[in-house]
Amino acid sequence: MSNLFNGVLGQGLSFLLGLIPLILVHEFGHFLMARKTGVWAKEFGIGYPPRILKLFRWKETDFTLNWLPIGGFVRMEGESLFEERSAIEEDIPPEELQQKQEARKHSLYAASPGNRVLIYLAGPVMNLLLAWALVVLLYFTGVPAYEVVIDEIVPNSPAAGAEMQVGDVILAINEQPVEEVEDVSTYIQASLGQPTTFTVRRDGETVALSAVPRANPPQGEGSLGILVGGIPKAGELLRYPLGKSLNYGTRYVLLMGQMTLSAPIMVIRGLIPLEMARPVGIVGISQITQQSVQESFSAGAAYPIMNILILLSLSLAIFNLLPIPPLDGGHILFIIVEKIRRKPLTPAVAERIYTVAFMVMLAVFALITALDIFFPVNLTP
């Protein structure tokens, strides 16, 4: 099965598996909020036109399947600022005239600015919620289990006095099993100033050591005087109860969001190498997803592919909130300008802005794609 994901075919399949469902979830968020706020969606498309077939119709929405498998879209009533709004002619049949009037009442630009902001926010929010749900599911179904290893020992610390050694694997503290790095800090803080037993594995043997964690250690040394890290256990998964999964999932999404938003500042300050912060396009995403799928098959576990889906969903949410037309953030920026001016931009001005921004985005995407092809993402750990 994993052979399917080798080469160009594998990258194409990986793209379909990795990004398209996330885009459809994003568009479904717009669709749900549009319906909630009374805006009609004329079409919900899977893929981009030309159309293959109409799958079904639900109320006023046609659900369609299209030939270009690069995402999806929601086409809302009156969505374009540039649609010609001709006067209603007297010779239009009454039934058709009534339909046109009803459609105008449910068009996007008949909605209040606040409702339009909600519609544009709904897509990124759906991606954030999906990422959070996937992280919670990942912790609940199993993440790679780690052994906690001592990486550094501070001289003249309680750990040094107890003859702990770099490379010792901490198995238990006061007979409480250590399953993750955070357990070490939690158990030590509960034993400050008290004799504490540490069960470690050293050179294949189990050793019991005793130390007294300091209540007031020197700055930067910690109560015990050790720095610990994690080494994955081959083939073992650690499953958390639902409560912990919800807690860890929330913390993970908040941390990743914070790191993504702060990345440009960290690059400017030299804290992140420029090559590590370079943007990745469709080709790069396909390569990364392909590797994750292969790792999932090799490990017989879902966490590699779920992890990349989580990161992609978070990235899609944050990217779409950038205040650049025609992204969701760009639409929201236009609405803010409309509120400040107390009237929308003229169609001609808005069209020029959208056209220029779209051309710039196409050029940027072309550049990123060229980087992906000629300077591929380094997939080695």
Beta strand 226-238 pairing with 143-153? antiparallel
State the Cα–Cα distance between residues 133 and 96, nearest whole angstrom: 45
Residue 109 CB contacts under 8 Å (≥ 6 apart), including other chains: 78, 79, 81, 116, 344
Q: Which residues of 282-293 are buried (b: 16+ CB within 10 A; e: fewer)?
A: ebbbbbbbbbbb
Dmax (CA) for the chain in angstroms is 97
CB 44 within 8 A of CB 323: no
Active site residue 27: yes
CA pair distance 32, 27, nearest whole angstrom: 9
Amino acid (1-letter code) at residue 197: T
* CA distances to 8, 69, 133, 257, 285 from 314, in Å: 26, 21, 12, 7, 14
State how far the alpha carbon of 111 is from the alpha carbons of 33, 61, 108, in Å. 12, 18, 5
Q: Per the residue annotation, which of 27, 43, 96, 205 is the catalytic one?
A: 27
Distance of CA 341 to CAs 94, 322, 338, 346, 371, Å? 37, 21, 5, 11, 41
At 265, which amino acid appears? I
CA angle in degrees (0–180, nearest 5) for 90-96-97: 45
Contact 120, 31 (CB under 8 A): no
Residue of 355, 331, 344 lying closest to 110 (CA atoms): 344
In the DSSP assignment, the letter for residue 86 is P
Active site amino acids: 27
